[in-house]
Amino acid sequence: MAKKKTISLEGAVKTDAGLTYKGVIMEPIVEKCEGCERAVSFEEDKFCPTYARPEIKWAKGICNFATHVSTEVNKGGKVKVNPLKASKRAARGR
Ligand code: SF4
């Protein structure tokens, strides 16, 4: 299995408008992104290299690039967190 590459936000610049990366203003990840392997830390915040505005992404439903939730939505529209990944995350977050 190929190892996942860690995406870095090297070259990103913090401005008053937010974090700019390759000419795009990036907003910090939202609560629902917590645990997603795509989120990248930059200084004290985390950003998503896949979606510059995670909040908007989640406002429309489940993020289809999320690594920590199943793409299945139950009838209540609740996001299901993959239990294995959640436990790994808990172990990491000691
Ligand atoms: S891929 Fe989706 S869930 Fe993951 S950090 Fe980005 S917006 Fe959040």
Mean pLDDT of 39-51: 93
Three-state secondary structure string covering the chain: CCCCCCCCCCCCEEECCEEEECCEEECECCHHHCCCCCCEEECCEEECCCCCCHHHHHHCCCCCCCCCEEEEECCCCCEEECHHHHHHHHHHCC
Q: Give, using CA atoms, the residue closest to atom 6 of ligand 1.
A: 48
CB of residue 63 inside a 6 A radius of ligand 1: yes
Mean pLDDT of 44-72: 90
Conformation bin of residue 88: beta by default, left when phi > 0, alpha when psi is -120 to 50? alpha
What pTM, to 2 d.p., does this model score? 0.68
> What is the CA(36)–ligand 1 centre distance, in A?
6
**pLDDT for the residue 81:** 61
Residue 87 has pLDDT above 80, yes or no: no
